[in-house]
Chains A and B, each alone.
Chain A
Amino acid sequence: MKHPAFTEIYATHAPQVLRMCLAYTDNEAEAQDFMQETFINVWKNIDSFRGDAKISTWIYRIAVNTCLSHIRATKHKAPVELKETFDRADDLSTVDREQHLQQLHRAIQKLPEADRLIISMVLEEIPYEEIADAVNISEGNLRVKIHRIKQQLTKIFFSDEHI
């Protein structure tokens, strides 16, 4: 019974989790590894999921913890450079869009780790209640943080517009 249920859960949530991981690390292969490990943890614990929370919240929490557990204290990333100029998203061609998405990922990388995880969930339109539950903070606290992170990310992303 485990496999069909898992396959269904995977099909529904994997794309969202992968995008979350992509916001956490700018390396696509690494993001895929994090996502795979998240779902390995989901697979391992699926029988113990009791339904106290929504399954999506449960999966996001596993994704957050998996990303966090991969942090290495010694790992120092080189400062990222934002090279492209940004036009409105509506006007972009596919190639440009990919480039700008990469640029956005790099801008997210400049945020502190906790903020990266939160903003990736916000961008995925995960309800605030679920985000608060996944990262274990109050909803009020989360709203204040999100407001600040949005401002910070907007500033980082567009400040390099003229480089």
Chain B
Amino acid sequence: MNTFDDIEALWKKPRQLQLPDAADIIKKASREKNKLANKILVQVICLMLAIASMLIVLFTIDFKYATSYAGLALMSACVIVFSIIRFRQTQHLRNMDFSQSPSALLQQFERFYSHQKYVNTTGVMWYTIVLNLAFAFYFYETLVLAPMLMFWKIIFLVVYVIWMLIATLWLGKRSVRKEHGRTTAIIEKLKQVQSGFEL
């Protein structure tokens, strides 16, 4: 007779399973930790470079108008705030607690997704507005009042506008779609499995 006992008996038979060495796991875990530390370091370096370049501009050019300083200050604020938010998101994802119950993990993913959505929609919208405002302030002295041909001024502005449109409407949206796709895929599946645990 074929019963579940036969399946259990088959399962219990000794098997040849290859287990990786514990030291390999520790090495891999330490590598992962270092990878995160390096990522943070790269982010901090990029942030420092961005701030340093703004400081160089600030101290090497003798601006006559307060708008230029306001522009640079706003640009710095944008870079700093956005970098901090991004860094916290990475850390949050890394620190996802896998030792809690599956339903609690699902809730954690959902909280992360709602924060991710907020950052990628409202956050990015404000980032774009403030950054463009910062450039508008900055360009008043460096472009509008600058002693150069109107032709070059227009060319410069056209290139800037095209780049902003590409960055926000195409590149940005594509990356947001990808990010959201990954998170929603995990949430959907976790929900599906969660419902499977219920009767």
Contact = CB atoms under 8 A, between A and B. Distances in A.
B101 A61 contact: yes
Contacts of B60: none
A44 B98 CA distance: 10
A114 B193 contact: yes
A93 B185 CA distance: 43
A136 B26 contact: no
A45 B8 CA distance: 33
Interface residues of A, number: 63
A69 B186 contact: yes
Contact of A40 (B11, B13, B28, B105): B28
A71 B8 contact: no
A90 B22 CA distance: 33
Contact of B199 (A100, A118, A145): A145
A40 B25 contact: yes
Contacts of A100: 10
Contacts, number: 144
| B interface, size bucket | 35 or more
A115 B23 CA distance: 33
Contact of A72 (B26, B97, B185, B198): B185
A137 B10 contact: no
Interface in B154-199: 185-186, 188-190, 192-199
Interface in B118-159: none
A101 interface: yes
A65 B7 contact: no
B11 A123 contact: yes
Q: SS class of chain B's interface: helix, strand, loop or mixed?
A: helix
Given A89-B9, A113-B196, A69 B98 contact: yes
Nearest to B6: A89
Nearest to B32: A40
Interface string A148-161: 00110110011001
Which among B2, B3, B32 has the greatest number of chain A C-beta atoms within 10 A?
B2
B17 interface: yes
B9 to A, nearest CB: 4
Interface in A91-120: 92, 97-98, 100-101, 104, 112-115, 118
In the A-B complex, the 5 residue pairs with the closest CB atoms: A114-B196, A136-B101, A73-B185, A89-B9, A89-B10
11 contacts: A41-B99, A58-B99, A61-B98, A62-B98, A72-B185, A72-B189, A88-B6, A92-B10, A112-B193, A136-B197, A157-B2
Interface of B: 2-4, 6-11, 13, 15, 17-20, 22, 24-26, 28-29, 32-33, 97-105, 185-186, 188-190, 192-199
Given A66-B98, A101-B15, A113-B196, 19 more contacts: A40-B32, A45-B99, A61-B99, A64-B102, A68-B190, A69-B186, A71-B186, A71-B189, A88-B9, A89-B13, A100-B10, A101-B11, A114-B193, A135-B102, A136-B104, A136-B197, A145-B197, A154-B3, A154-B7
